[in-house]
A and B are shown apart, each in its own frame.
Chain A
Amino acid sequence: GQQVQQSPASLVLQEGENAELQCNFSTSLNSMQWFYQRPGGSLVSLFYNPSGTKHSGRLTSTTVIKERRSSLHISSSQTTDSGTYLCALEHNAGAKLTFGGGTRLTVRP
């Protein structure tokens, strides 16, 4: 089965609402990363988060390794937040990432 599962697959919000994106993994990991995928396809790294909670502006990432889950919280969403958010699990051995299927976020004005 899939090692990294993201939910929801898609999410539609009104501007100003908060979003909670989930990532669950079935194997042991070295770290979890979150990315934003631009409409053109390129990726921007949001968080490199071995464990615990990290903040960056309106974004918060929380990874609980024992529970095999990570979340990305977006507060006060803006239309420019629209796009696809990917989580990726870094395995314990080697520089390898396994990506989730992504959450497509649409923020309406």
Chain B
Amino acid sequence: AQTIHQWPVAEIKAVGSPLSLGCTIKGKSSPNLYWYWQATGGTLQQLFYSITVGQVESVVQLNLSASRPKDDQFILSTEKLLLSHSGFYLCAWSSGGTNTGQLYFGEGSKLTVL
């Protein structure tokens, strides 16, 4: 069975500090990977997606970057956090291809920027 693990579960960070959120998928080869973000009380937005290792497509610019260093790992990061980065971050995978297909989500990471 496939599993998806996100870390950390929650972070409290200062404005201007760096951030790294991670996501690992086990039991699935060559998945599509996705990052989504939801501000408190806001609408969920897709940030990035990756169809293959080393390739990441940006969907919404939020002064964040994403990387896929390994087939089963997706990293979201920034060198300088903004207050507006606060919110809930979700990683997801699907079975691959050029379309999204059915998505499977991690438990999410809650980020508070002070």
Contacts and interface: CB of A to CB of B under 8 A. Distances in A.
A97 B43 CA distance: 12
Contact of A90 (B99, B105, B108): B99
B95 to A, nearest CB: 11
B29 interface: no
Contacts of B102: 33, 45, 48
A40 B107 contact: yes
B14 interface: no
B43 A99 contact: yes
Nearest to B94: A95
A95 B43 contact: no
B103 A41 contact: no
Given A33-B100, A42-B106, A43-B103, A96 B59 contact: yes
A30 B99 CA distance: 8
A81 to B, nearest CB: 19
A103 B49 CA distance: 26
B110 A90 contact: no
- How many of chain A's residues touch chain B, expressed as a range? 20 to 34
Q: Is the interface of A mostly helix, strand, loop or mixed?
A: strand
Contacts, number: 62
Interface residues of B, number: 28
A44 interface: yes
A40 B90 CA distance: 11
A31 interface: yes
Contacts of B88: 41
B31 to A, nearest CB: 11
A68 to B, nearest CB: 19
Contact of A44 (B45, B94, B97, B105): B105
B83 interface: no
Contacts of A42: 90, 105-108
Contacts of B61: none
The 8 nearest A-B residue pairs measured at CB: A99-B44, A48-B102, A43-B105, A95-B100, A41-B88, A41-B108, A95-B49, A42-B107
